[in-house]
Amino acid sequence: MSPPRESTLEWYKECIIWAKRESPSPSPLRITLWYTMTISANLDNGEKFDVVQTEYVKDVNDSSANSDDGDLETQDVNIAKLIRKVDYHLVPWLALLYLLSFLDRSNIGNANLFGLSKHLHLTSSQYSLCLAIFFIFYVIFEVPSNMVMKAWRPSMWLPIIMLAWGVVMVGMGFVQDFHSLLVTRLFLGITEAGLFPGVSYYLTQWYRRYEISWRIALFFSAATAAGAFGGLLARLINLMDGIQGLEGWRWIFILEGILTVVVASASFFVMYDYPCTAKFLTTTERKVLQERLHLDRDGCSQEFKARFILDAFLDWKVWCSAIMFHGSLCPVYTFSLFSPTLTANLGYSAAKAQLMSVPPYVAAAIVTITAGWLSDKIQRRGVVVIGCSLIGSLGYILLLANVSSGVNYFGLFLAASGMYPLIPVIVAWGSNNCGGSLKKSVGTAIIVSVGNLGGVASAFIYPKEDAPLYRKGHAVCLAYCIICIMTALVLWWYCERTNRKREAANAARGHSWTAEEKKELEDEGDNNPWFVYVI
């Protein structure tokens, strides 16, 4: 939108002053470009500021890995320092939330090792059903949760659902039979459903497309930390066995649930919504972040329209990413639920099995963060997905071969190091290729929802009757690794092919797309002829 007619002269004078400050002899073209490419952006809270698309000015302060930031004009803000500032305020706390989330959903495996099934008189099928019911309702409520968060405020919605699942966790410590355990796991699935898809979408509203994979990796690495930390914590908490007449496995649920409630309560005061309202940013920093995000949005509508929800459900690329994510999550969940059991079947006692399950998680955390960073650095997702899937495949082949306990233990390392890194890269890939914020929100939730159906399968593929070899479970996980490779190849091929076609068509036009032309097609999202897919 142009400035009011009576203020046009003043605006133009400001452009000249700015241009002289930047260059002793600014060209008229430089001044005119700055002026004519100024647009007005409406914020969620009604505030307005000027977003300047200075795609022709190099930012000498920017030392970030994303080359596009060289096109962003900012005299007083160092982009690299600004991104680090955002990292410090967002990522550690989000990682803590997910650590507790993953800890709370998977601690049933540790509790079972210390006598849950024995004391509640659970059969193998009943225990598997308690595992599976969590994921069924988790999947059902992921998309609605993301829609609520998009329409409301992340800083309110995420702490509320976390507070709810913390209360459920405490209640799980007092279950008396199969039916009460089943009900608490059901409600745990409902209340936890919104965290991972919500945070995955939330991060895309702060970072650009080739910055997001590493941040999701940092956030998701909390899951691997939960696997390592959970085993150690459960081992220590179980020492409380008999206190207040409660078994040690009950204290695992109660104390971890109380910790979740405390952190959820603090989240109301330490979380932020979006860059436009974040209090830890200066006014200039808010504008700069909005300008950076605007470069990625590239003419895609950010409005809340029903058609964008339908677009997400009808986009085959979203479902291809969802199948890929499903293929990665089933092995991840089997590992988190059964790794203490798998290590115990290598010949270790329950207590030592808890400790022996920690090192593979540590290795997985290191590889997860490295893979997320590498994916952003080389600006490629498919090659990282395929590489990690091959590592995971080798791990399950070694487990199936059953050469020796040492080789099997090494196979656990490879399986964890291959499958855990897939999660952030696949989520980043899927969200990168959704045009528009609402489609991105719903598309991310669909991907995560279908992926979490792998959790349902994971509850049944390692029954105790298959001990100690668990050939069926290892074979299923190997098949999922192959599915990840195949879907990654298909998506990679399509996106690269489409990018080449669009590049050729845009070059044949003879001129760039104007703001007016993009405005007319903004509702087309990633189907726009200028949208570039991430490969």
Identify the structural domains of the chain with CATH numbers, from first to last: 1-57 (no CATH), 83-275+305-497 (1.20.1250.20)
Q: Which two three-digit tokens encode residue 437? A: 């914020």
> Is residue 294 within 8 Å of 41, Cβ to Cβ?
yes
Please say whether the beta carbons of 312 and 442 come within 8 A.
yes
Torsion sign over Cα 383, 386, 390, 391: positive
Dihedral of the alpha carbons of 131, 135, 138, 139, in degrees to the nearest 10: -170
- Which residue's entry shows tokens 């949208």? 531
Q: Which long-range contacts (CB under 8 A, 24 or more apart) does 16-20 make?
A: none
- How would you classify residue 347: left for phi > 0, otherwise alpha for psi between -120 and 50, otherwise beta? left
Per-residue confidence (pLDDT) for residue 429, from 0 to 100: 93
8-state DSSP, 373: H
Give the pLDDT score at 66: 44
Q: Give the torsion through C-alpha atoms of 149, 150, 155, 157, to 10 deg.
A: -10
Q: Which two tokens stand for residue 234?
A: 């459960």
Question: Can you name the residues that pair with 48 across neighbouring β-strands?
Answer: 42
> Cα–Cα distance between 218 and 214 in angstroms, integer?
6
Q: Compute the distance between CA of residue 3 and CA of residue 82 in angstroms, rounded to an integer.
A: 29
Residue 491, φ and ψ in degrees, nearest 5: -65, -40
> CA-CA distances (angstroms) from residue 507 to 236, 511, 512?
64, 7, 8
Measure Cα distances from 427 to 111, 215, 391 in Å. Answer: 30, 11, 19
pLDDT at 392: 95
The encoded tokens of residue 277 equal 């309202």
Q: How much is the pLDDT for 209?
A: 81
Does residue 298 come out as left (phi exceeding 0), alpha (psi in the -120 to 50 range) or beta?
A: left
Q: Quick one: pLDDT at residue 296?
A: 67
CA proximity to 82, closest of 276, 288, 271, 376: 288
DSSP string covering 397-454: HHHHHT--HHHHHHHHHHHHHHHTTHHHHHHHHHHHT--SHHHHHHHHHHHHHHHHHH
φ, ψ at 300 (rounded to 5°): -90, 135
Q: What is the DSSP letter of 63?
A: -
Task: Give the relative orientation of helices 124-140 and 79-113 as an angle to the nearest 10 degrees.
Answer: 150
What the block records as the tokens of 206 is: 């702060």
**CA pair distance 96, 219, nearest whole angstrom:** 8
Residue 340's pLDDT is 66
Backbone angles phi, psi at 472, to 5 degrees: -60, -45
Residue 468: cis peptide before it, omega within 30 degrees of 0: yes
The three state secondary structure string of 485-502 is HHHHHHHHHHHHHHHHHH
**What pTM does this model have?**
0.70
Check if the beta carbon of residue 233 is closer than 8 Å to that of residue 104.
no
Instruction: Give the Å distances, CA to CA, from 255 to 165, 191, 250, 475.
Output: 13, 18, 9, 36
pLDDT tens per residue across all 535 residues of the chain? 334 434 444 444 454 444 444 444 444 334 333 333 333 333 333 333 333 333 323 332 333 334 444 444 445 678 889 999 999 999 889 988 988 888 888 788 888 878 888 889 988 889 888 988 888 888 888 888 888 887 888 999 999 999 999 999 999 999 999 999 999 999 999 999 888 888 888 888 898 888 888 888 887 877 667 766 777 788 788 888 888 888 888 999 999 999 999 999 999 999 999 888 888 998 889 888 888 887 766 666 667 677 888 888 999 999 999 999 999 988 888 876 666 666 766 666 656 666 777 788 888 889 999 999 999 999 899 999 999 999 999 999 998 998 887 888 899 899 999 999 998 899 989 988 888 777 888 888 899 888 888 777 777 787 777 777 788 889 999 999 999 999 999 999 999 999 999 889 888 887 777 777 777 777 777 778 888 899 9
- DSSP secondary-structure letter at 376? H
pLDDT at 306: 78
Strand partners, 309: none
> What CA–CA distance (Å, rounded) separates 334 from 336?
6
Other C-beta atoms within 10 Å of 29: how many?
Answer: 9
SS3 132: helix
Please state, in angstroms and rounded to a whole number, the distance separating the CA atoms of residues 244 and 416. Answer: 38
3 state DSSP class of 484: helix
A 10 A CB-CB count for 93 gives: 17
502 burial type by CB count under 10 A (0-12 exposed, 13-18 middle, 19+ buried): middle
**Rounded Cα gap, residues 403 and 411, in angstroms:** 10
